[in-house]
Amino acid sequence: MLTLPAVLTHAASAQFALGLKQAVASQPAQLVADANGLHEFDSSALALLLACRREALAGGKAFSVQGLPARLRQLAGLYGVAELIPDSAAVPA
């Protein structure tokens, strides 16, 4: 499981993104991004989740998100990318 930080705004996401490729590579075949602790975010959080997805798929891994805040799910829908960020509860194990 890849735990997202509590803050993923434009200013904070750059630091998290630096180690993203290595963090994703170290995960098992089913990469689950844990967003339960995420409480402050902007559209940069979506960009990071999509980057996680790209890295996971490039490495032959499945990707899903656990605990995505409702506001971020709504933002993903607004941008038309909600289907690219599946809820881990809806993904078969």
Question: Which pLDDT value is given to residue 11?
Answer: 87
- Considering its fold, how many domains does the chain have in total? 1
Q: Are 91 and 62 in contact (CB under 8 A)?
A: yes
Local confidence band at 81 (pLDDT 50, 70, 90 cut-offs): very high
Question: Which pLDDT value is given to residue 18?
Answer: 83
Q: What is the domain extent for residue 66? A: 2-90
Short-list 5, 1, 18, CA closest to 45: 5
Q: Which domain CATH number covers 28? A: 3.30.750.24
CB crowding 5-37: b at 16 or more within 10 Å, else e:
bebbeeebbeebbeebeebbeebeeebbbebee
> What token pair was written down for 53?
């997805």
What's the mean pLDDT in 48-61? 94
Question: Which pLDDT value is given to residue 19?
Answer: 83
